[in-house]
């Protein structure tokens, strides 16, 4: 089950955290993974680890907010491999603030990566998927798009846009055998969380980590591998009947807290 042999997968933000877990998981199931990330060191390190395990991966330094950059890379992959089977729109940035104290600069930066980045990637990859008979697109939404979180105005807005883009893509390209779904994680323990706690709660990291963990009904944060496993399923032929859906994976955060 979940065999991805001979599949070509493009993973944005695939060098760190959840993206790293996605890249490693897809490659273990046989996919050739192309990692696009602005963090060159992280991206190359993840590729090296995948290669050491006998699987296939490549790295491109890429700013997904730059459409031309994305188009050039997608064209290169298509020219080399003859297809793009899977697109994982994982790249994104966080932001803390309300509608009152979020600057226009920060607001537009969130849009450029979290919204325009998804658009740029689907715009670049869908034509190739149509040429080769279909494909799978998975977008990274968030529990923040379904429930009001304090101080997450711009971020929540961007993930709401990702969710509705998913529905539109699924509707528009279902006849082209392109499936598009999104997932909505709750809090996941990644290096970003550790960095956030260290910056904002120095000396209180353990206490705050426990507090954040307990906001989810299951009493803990998710693991990147758990997110990657859901994405693996949605990319596989076993999920061929699924499109236009948003999958919460949040330890009950949205449903059980509302």
Residue in 76, 155, 201, 247 annotated catalytic: 155
155 is catalytic: yes
Please state, as a whole number, how many other Cβ atoms lie within 10 Å of the Cβ of residue 244.
Answer: 15
For residue 225, count CB atoms less than 10 angstroms from its CB and return exposed for 0-12, middle for 13-18, buried for 19 or more.
Answer: middle
Given a contact cutoff of 8 angstroms between Cβ atoms, the answer to whether 86 and 10 are in contact is: yes
DSSP string over 95-110:
--B-TTT--HHHHHHH
* Beta-bridge partner residues of 86: 9, 136
Given a contact cutoff of 8 angstroms between Cβ atoms, the answer to whether 157 and 148 are in contact is: no
DSSP string over 104-137:
HHHHHHHIIIIIHHHHHHHHHHHHHHHHTT-EEE
Contacts of 45 (CB under 8 A, 6+ apart): 15
Backbone angles phi, psi at 207, to 5 degrees: -65, -45
Positions marked active-site: 155
């Amino acid at each position: 089950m979940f065999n991805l042999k001979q599949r070509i997968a493009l993973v944005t933000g695939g060098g760190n955290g959840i993206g790293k877990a996605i890249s490693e998981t897809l490659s273990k199931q046989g996919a050739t993974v192309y990692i696009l990330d602005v963090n060159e060191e992280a991206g190359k390190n993840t590729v090296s680890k995948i290669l050491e395990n006998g699987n296939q991966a490549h790295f491109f330094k890429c700013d997904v907010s730059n459409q031309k950059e994305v188009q050039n890379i997608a064209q290169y992959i298509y020219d080399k491999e003859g297809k793009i089977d899977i697109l994982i729109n994982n790249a994104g940035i966080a932001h803390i603030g309300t509608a009152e104290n979020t600057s226009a600069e920060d607001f537009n930066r969130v849009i450029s990566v979290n919204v325009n980045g998804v658009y740029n990637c689907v715009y670049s990859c869908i034509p190739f998927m149509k040429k080769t008979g279909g494909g799978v697109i998975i977008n990274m939404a968030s529990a923040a798009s379904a429930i009001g979180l304090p101080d997450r105005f711009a971020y929540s807005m961007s993930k709401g846009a990702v969710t509705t883009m998913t529905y539109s893509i699924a509707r528009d390209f279902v006849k082209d055998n392109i499936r598009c779904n999104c997932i909505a994680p709750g809090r996941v323990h990644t290096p970003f969380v550790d960095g956030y706690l260290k910056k904002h709660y120095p000396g209180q990291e353990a206490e705050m980590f426990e507090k954040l963990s307990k906001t989810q009904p299951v009493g803990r944060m998710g693991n990147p591998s758990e997110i990657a496993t859901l994405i693996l399923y949605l990319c596989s032929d076993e999920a061929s009947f699924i499109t236009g859906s948003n999958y919460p994976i949040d330890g009950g955060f949205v449903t059980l807290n509302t």
